[in-house]
Structure 1
Amino acid sequence: MTANSLLQVRVARKQVQALDIVSLDLVAVDGSALPPFTPGAHVDVHLPGGLVRQYSLCNDPAGASCYRIGVLRTAPSRGGSEAVHALTEGQVLSISAPRNQFPLAAGAQQHVLVAGGIGLTPLLCMAEQLAREGQAFTLHYAVRDAERVAFRDRLESAALAPHVQLHLSSDPAVQQQALARVLASPATGSHLYVCGPGGFMDAVLATARTAGWAADCLHSESFTPVVEVRDTDGDFEIEIASTGQVILVERGQTALAALSINGVQVLSSCEQGICGTCLTGVKAGVPDHRDQYLTEEEQAANDQFLPCCSRAKSARLVVDL
């Protein structure tokens, strides 16, 4: 998404939702309606200081007059959560239009939503839509203690309370045992959705696979960048299609950095393979996709890649620059 397509929003309301968690209600600066979204969608938020972070929309999309995000202050922070917590009502921000890579599965007979900590945010609006539509679902919320339970008023609402189970414990082993019982013997037509810290999601998904959940029934969302260096990683070349310039990308160096060092500037933002700002066309060669932006089908086409995080399986990539 280019800078020209960003939305200008104002922080209309800031609320404390739990210990170290705040929510922001964002409305269009000009008073117009914001683009519609579906449960599971997120936006890129451009924060003061040039930071760009991705946050799930957590309000019910039905008749929504704003975008609501919930943000945990993390320690240590890469700067994003601290910047959000420092925002004040009335402050103006730029955000992307919503993008949904974590939708509810059409045709599922049962939805099992499992949230860890701030991972509740996308699952909360999923639960509200499922309740409104009368679909079968449960929402399991694993959190360390009661003071960290976010959006308690919505969890205790008449629509959600019968479907919500809190799992309060500071012991990961206790949490894992409880969730193992939840995930045992999956019913036909059940789909699992999980969001939370990386280790939490890995444990839940591993437990589900062991219990016999089918791979196409497992859905997860993570905005945590995966910094990955593989034993097979090595140097590769990038050829600029328009000029024929060949640039070496060394092991441990991103293609984006190599391009920049050699005077080829590519617009970028998150530098984590999430926002898609640096998406670049590929005319020849095979990328090694490591992003969270492209769909599996888009990656399989091998006609574009994100140089901020992806590499090459072939010795050379010819890129459309």
Structure 2
Amino acid sequence: MTSAIHRTDTDAGGCPFDPAAVSPTGCPVSPEAAAFDPFDAPYQLDPAEALRWSRDQEPVFYSPKLGYWVVSRYDDIKAIFRDNLTFSPSIALEKITPPSDEALEVLKRYDYGMNRTLVNEDEPAHMARRRVLLDAFTPEALEAHAPMVRRLVREKLDAIIDRGRADLVAEMFWEVPLTVALHFLGVPEEDMEQLRRFSAAHTLNTWGRPSPEQQVEVAEAVGKFWQYSGRVLRKMQAQPRSEGWMYDMIEKNREMPEVVTDSYLHSMMMAIIVAAHETTALATTNAFRQLLSRPAVWDELCANPELIPSAAEESLRHSGSMVSWRRITTCDVEVGGVTIPEGGRILMVMASGNHDPRHFENPDDFDIYRDNAVDHLTFGYGSHQCMGKNLGRMEMRIFLEEFIRRLPHLELEEQAFTFLPNTSLRGPEALWVRWDPTLNPERRDPAVRSAQRDFPVGAPEARTIVRRVRVMRAEPEADGVLGVTLVDPAGRSLPAWTPGSHLDVLLPSGEARKYSLCGPADSGDWRIAVLREEGGRGGSRWMHEAVHEGVELRVRGPKNHFRLDESAGHHVLIAGGIGITPIIAMADRLKQLGKSYELHYAGRSRGSMAFVERLERDHGEVLHRYPGDQGRRLELDTLLAEPGDGTLLYACGPERLLAALEAGTTHWREGSLHVEHFSAEGALLDPAKEHAFEVELADSELTVEVPSDRTLMQALRAAGLDVPSDCEEGLCGTCQVEVVEGEIDHRDKVLTPSERESNDRVMTCCSRARGRKLILAL
């Protein structure tokens, strides 16, 4: 990622606006910025939509009504999260509306002293404490809480399942996350309703705009919350150690009182109750609202419950509960081309960044098949990323799994949604649903109630996002080549794809095989071609023997790791055997664009060369055929002798062809040759030949040990880091991470020789450290 931040010693100049309002730098404020008010209806109803103008025109602006600099684009927000020194989190819990004297007096009467927590603490104190508190939040530790979460959700669902109508917020979504938070902390469950009011009051107090009268009322509730949590904490400190995170912290307080202080214990207890409770409750409500308002998507999820983790992640991206976060600058700094002066308060609107088309394709669509939803900013990023993110994910998934199994016929009622007015937390205050109890599956089969499906703790992996398709046609395309046309089982249009894309077809064994989409790209269906390889691993043999019209297949994708650069002056397309499948789609696209190209196609015999008649019909003028049974041979030395100015080469075929191309283009400009590999020789982990090493994470300020029997990616995930991945074989580049320091043992087939030599990136799924340490920008 290229940082959009630059420190500066001078004010910004040359502002194009000329209204009366000005920012603290003296620069005039645009009419849109002057009118922006996060407490107005547009932002309260849909923050991302309310800031569309900002993402498009003015990604960093000063809001006179709020007194904050607002940042709306993905890269700018992520860059701010990465730099906790320039952008201090110290104001994260500051009241966004200055408190009245009367409200301050109320808080003083309750001896309210909530000050620093992990959320608003500067370095180095923040990471010193965070490292002490992290163990309970690892995926392995959180697994132990899943049965408790499941029990609570099931009990609440049992209470309403025969009723036929319910407000899910009041009946389930509010109370279950609160009880989970209390169990996690080890706090007694008494005073549940009181805690509910406390949490809402805390939100309004910190991120809302209460009236003077409301401020006094809210201060009373916050003061009582503070008193209550202090009373419970003292009771826990006085009794023997028990289960729960607070007992761990009490022990740390005794072991290292200078790090985990008494006042810190009290503040953290109150903060965790609010954070673990309300964010998850609202995120779950948002997820159900989005899914149920799209009945076809809900039905698809019911039919494919393995998509629950990706559906929950897409909900967090599309409509997360944490809308914005705050920072204050410690020096003059440039963000997105705008100078923010020292002491400038910043409102980072993550909800807007999550809808930034520069990072997410079709960002306003709610797509449960989105393979990069995990990149969302809802949990923050870096050393201040939410520690409880995986606990929240677990709760959302269990809620969804119980409902789609036991109430797949659930419907959303027509209703007007209302929200607690504030800048940062968002979710409907009620969610009314209905269903016909006579259709409950467990009335016919009581086993449905307990037939649960569990998911690994942590971010979903792209490989778990599986789509069902139906075979419309399965006929020979050439000797030993089966052509397969795939359609959506429900008759919907399948997603568009681009030349170079492929599908992962899942075999009955659970293994996957990659097959390129061969088009035509605008046909509305998906077409692949499979070469039967008798000496292969069995996948192509199964495809030839088991796939026929009407069969349903499970696929992942489309994915494109072999993308066509359409800007080149000339393209040389080279295919060997079944490697024609991505190449023919590229030829179709270049012809459609009117671009200059030539196509070279080699095969064992004309009869074994798939699509040869279509190629002759559609690309005859630029097609060069090399059927081996006719004595014709592709002469690479001649083809590659003279590097073409502005020419790009794209090739797919046997590994020996690709190796010959790489050897034959060393005199071409680097980056001229693009190839697609479908095997990962040398990339797999062999613990007997590996050595352990240490990884320092610069953005997260953590250190992770990578043992000899784990990949770098596995070690990072075990530490709670969200590392995106796809192939996990070193073929696609999805898991690439920036390297700050250290020598890399590259084992991927993605990077070019010069990219490897630059030593500034690593594929975490397969590559390792040559030495004993790496420093990563993660």
The two structures have a TM-score, normalised by structure 1, of 0.77
In the TM superposition, residue 305 of structure 1 has moved relative to its aligned partner by: 1.4
Question: Counterparts of 1:65 and 1:166 in 2: how far apart (Å)?
Answer: 29
Once the two structures are superposed, residues 269-308 of structure 1 have per-residue CA deviations (whole angstroms, 9 ceiling, x without a partner) of: 865334789x5989998664433579979x97658711xx
In the TM superposition, residue 70 of structure 1 has moved relative to its aligned partner by: 1.2
CA contact under 8 A between 1:120 and 1:196: conserved in structure 2?
yes
Q: Does 1:163 align with 2:622?
A: yes
Aligned counterpart, 1:93? 553
Question: Counterparts of 2:677 and 2:575 in 1: how far apart (Å)?
Answer: 12
Q: Give the alignment of 1:238-277 within 5 angstroms.
A: 248-249=707-708, 255=711, 272-274=729-731
Greater fraction of residues in helix: 2
Question: Counterparts of 1:245 and 1:160 in 2: how far apart (Å)?
Answer: 53
Q: Give the alignment of 1:150-189 within 5 angstroms.
A: 150-157=610-617, 159-169=618-628, 175-176=633-634, 178-189=635-646
CA contact under 8 A between 1:138 and 1:163: conserved in structure 2?
yes
Pick from 469, 481, 490 the counterpart of residue 21 of structure 1.
481
Identity %: 35
Flag the 1:140–1:78 CA change in 2: closer, same or farther, 3 A. Answer: same
CA contact under 8 A between 2:731 and 2:750: conserved in structure 1?
yes
Report which of the two structures shows the higher radius of gyration computed on alpha carbons: 2
Q: Does 1:236 align with 2:695?
A: no
Question: Counterparts of 2:561 and 2:746 in 1: how far apart (Å)?
Answer: 16
Amino acid at match of 2:526: Y
Aligned counterpart, 2:672? 217
Aligned counterpart, 2:603? 143
Helix, strand or coil at the partner of 1:215: coil
Helix, strand or coil at the partner of 1:223: coil
Aligned counterpart, 1:54? 514
Aligned counterpart, 2:169? none
Q: Runs of 4+ in structure 1 displaced over 6 angstroms?
A: 256-259, 266-269, 280-285, 293-297
CA contact under 8 A between 1:53 and 1:80: conserved in structure 2?
yes
Question: Counterparts of 2:552 and 2:661 in 1: how far apart (Å)?
Answer: 38
93-102 or 124-133, larger mean C-alpha shift: 93-102
Helix, strand or coil at the partner of 2:575: strand
Helix, strand or coil at the partner of 1:119: helix
Once the two structures are superposed, residues 216-257 of structure 1 have per-residue CA deviations (whole angstroms, 9 ceiling, x without a partner) of: 211111112222599xx6411478x9x9995631xxx66389
Helix, strand or coil at the partner of 1:10: strand
Number of equivalenced pairs: 300
Once the two structures are superposed, residues 80-113 of structure 1 have per-residue CA deviations (whole angstroms, 9 ceiling, x without a partner) of: 2112212222121222222222122232111110
Aligned counterpart, 2:563? 103
Question: Counterparts of 1:162 and 1:102 in 2: how far apart (Å)?
Answer: 25
In the TM superposition, residue 195 of structure 1 has moved relative to its aligned partner by: 0.8
Greater fraction of residues in strand: 1
Flag the 1:155–1:48 CA change in 2: closer, same or farther, 3 A. Answer: same
Question: Counterparts of 1:71 and 1:6 in 2: how far apart (Å)?
Answer: 20
Helix, strand or coil at the partner of 1:175: coil
Once the two structures are superposed, residues 7-34 of structure 1 have per-residue CA deviations (whole angstroms, 9 ceiling, x without a partner) of: 2111111111111111111111222222
Helix, strand or coil at the partner of 2:557: coil
Question: Counterparts of 2:713 and 2:646 in 1: how far apart (Å)?
Answer: 45
Aligned counterpart, 1:68? 527
Question: Counterparts of 1:197 and 1:244 in 2: how far apart (Å)?
Answer: 41
Q: Give the alignment of 1:76-87 within 5 angstroms.
A: 76-86=535-545, 87=547
Aligned counterpart, 2:203? none
Helix, strand or coil at the partner of 1:181: helix
Amino acid at match of 1:206: A
Amino acid at match of 1:217: S
CA contact under 8 A between 1:39 and 1:60: conserved in structure 2?
no
Helix, strand or coil at the partner of 1:64: coil
> Which segments of 5 or more consecutive residues in structure 2 lack a partner in the other structure?
1-370, 372-461
Flag the 1:50–1:190 CA change in 2: closer, same or farther, 3 A. Answer: same
CA contact under 8 A between 1:236 and 1:314: conserved in structure 2?
no
Aligned counterpart, 1:7? 467
CA contact under 8 A between 1:282 and 1:303: conserved in structure 2?
yes
Question: Counterparts of 1:20 and 1:220 in 2: how far apart (Å)?
Answer: 24
In the TM superposition, residue 151 of structure 1 has moved relative to its aligned partner by: 0.9
Question: Counterparts of 1:57 and 1:78 in 2: how far apart (Å)?
Answer: 21
> Which segments of 5 or more consecutive residues in structure 1 lack a partner in the other structure?
none
Flag the 1:134–1:33 CA change in 2: closer, same or farther, 3 A. Answer: same
Flag the 1:139–1:93 CA change in 2: closer, same or farther, 3 A. Answer: same
Once the two structures are superposed, residues 45-103 of structure 1 have per-residue CA deviations (whole angstroms, 9 ceiling, x without a partner) of: 21221111111111121x22111111111131112211221222212122222222212
Question: Counterparts of 2:555 and 2:775 in 1: how far apart (Å)?
Answer: 32
